[in-house]
Structure 1
Amino acid sequence: MTQEETIQIFRNYFAYIKRPGAADLLQWMDANGFFEAPASKRHHGAEPGGLAQHSINVCRRLIQMNAEEERRQQSLNYDLETLAICGLLHDLCKIDAYRKAEFEGITEYRLTKNFPAGHGEKSVILILQFMHLTQEEILAIRWHMGQYDFYARGGGYDLDNAFHQCKLAVMLHLADMMATHFDEREEEKSGEKK
């Protein structure tokens, strides 16, 4: 899949977000390199456009998971706007996280350490500069790293409390893990993007 196709798919999902400020947020993302950014230094999506593709994969998984839960419980129902916000914007913190650098003749991504406000926290802060988030959306984005979040390793109960209170937080974490470890590994093996 070309970068232009990835951008168009991302924009199609982003169209579900109708809140005031969403258009300004998307314009800011475009101007600040979101669609060229990698998803990581050397793991999943470690190429230009990897962040947008990863975000699409997470959004798709989240929509799929929500539909499965609706069938199973007949009560859990997050609207497409909330799912798009969480799926597409959970890693907004990575918009400026990596820069290409030359090191011993090898070009690689290096961590920039710009605005070190935490992972999920930084994403929430950046989004809130443009549009409102519900408490569930904040908890989901803040804790989408689950047990891999540095602060969850300290023995506090915030992650457990967030997962207990907010099914969306659990679903976003699982969607992120499935996109990373299933979808993107399959893409690497096949040599093509979805």
Structure 2
Amino acid sequence: MGFKEEFEEIYRSKITRPGSAELLEWLKTTDFFTAPASTKFHCACLGGLVQHSLSVYHVMMEKHFQPETDNEESFAICGLLHDVCKAQFYKESTRNVKNEETGVWEKRPYYSIEDSYPYGHGEKSVFLIERFLRLKTSEAIAIRWHMGGFDESVRGGSFSIGLAWQKYPIAVKLHLADLESTYLREKGTSVVHGK
């Protein structure tokens, strides 16, 4: 089973809230299932975004899910959809890279960012999801703050993230799963696509 099929299977079985089918259909009209997760840091490859989304979901479920207090649908929403802001965000391009063996400059493919809707990272994901289904407050807060200290507003001195993590444990769990997926589990997946 490929990443897209696995994503759809988990999505359909775990996310049943009104609007979920419409959100999935919208995702299929975007490049969500073929886009990279980053330009060079992790899963910078064809299909990297869906691969990363699955990885975050699996880490959340394996390491942080507590059946007595947590909700499977919330974990699926947060894990699978936290980075929907990256759909229609990357553009395939080329750049000149010097071949170390020959000394000749060659055109190589890479991903650049083309943000047609610059709304912020977590905020944009929340906005896009809520066009189709209503998020619980805890889910919206978790998705909004999943970048942790890498979020621009935190670097600017915002104290909101600490309060968010204190009030909503799912926000901490999503952030930890995102970190582990990005920096530990997805090592070696930063290979730029080849055509």
- Report the TM-score range of the alignment, normalised by the length of the smaller protein: 0.7 to 0.9
Give the aligned partner of residue 45 of structure 2.
47
**TM-score (norm. length: structure 2):** 0.88
**Counterpart amino acid of residue 10 in structure 1:** F
Q: Percent identity?
A: 40
Rg larger in structure? 2
One-letter amino acid of the structure 1 residue matched with residue 82 of structure 2 = H
* Distance in 2 of aligned mates of 1:43 and 1:147: 16
Q: Comparing both structures, which one devotes a greater share of its residues to helix? A: 1
| Candidates 77, 85, 90, aligned match of 1:98 | 90
DSSP 3-state at the match of 1:96: coil
The yes-or-no answer on 1:180 pairing with 2:173 is no
TM-score if structure 1 supplies the norm length? Answer: 0.88
- Deviation of 1:44 (Å): 0.5
Deviations 1:126-180 (A, max 9, x none): 0000000000000000000001100011112111111111101000000000111
Correspondence for 1:109: 111
Matched, 1:80 2:72: yes
Tell me the SS of whatever aligns to 2:45: coil
Q: Report 1 or 2 for greater relative contact order, CA contacts < 8 Å, sequence distance ≥ 6.
A: 2
Query: Residues 53 and 80 of structure 2 are in contact (CA less than 8 Å); yes or no, is this contact kept in structure 1?
Result: yes
| Alpha-carbon distance, 1:188 to partner | 3.9
For structure 1, the 5+ residue unaligned runs are 190-194
Paired with 1:83 and 1:13, the residues of 2 have a C-alpha distance of: 11
Tell me the amino acid that sits aligned with residue 81 of structure 1: E
Query: RMSD of aligned C-alpha atoms?
Result: 1.5
Matched pairs, number: 179
* Corresponding residue of 1:166: 168
Partner of 2:152: 150
Give, in angstroms, the shift of residue 66 of structure 1. 2.8
In the alignment, the residues of structure 2 paired with residue 163 and residue 54 of structure 1 have an alpha-carbon distance, to the nearest angstrom, of: 22
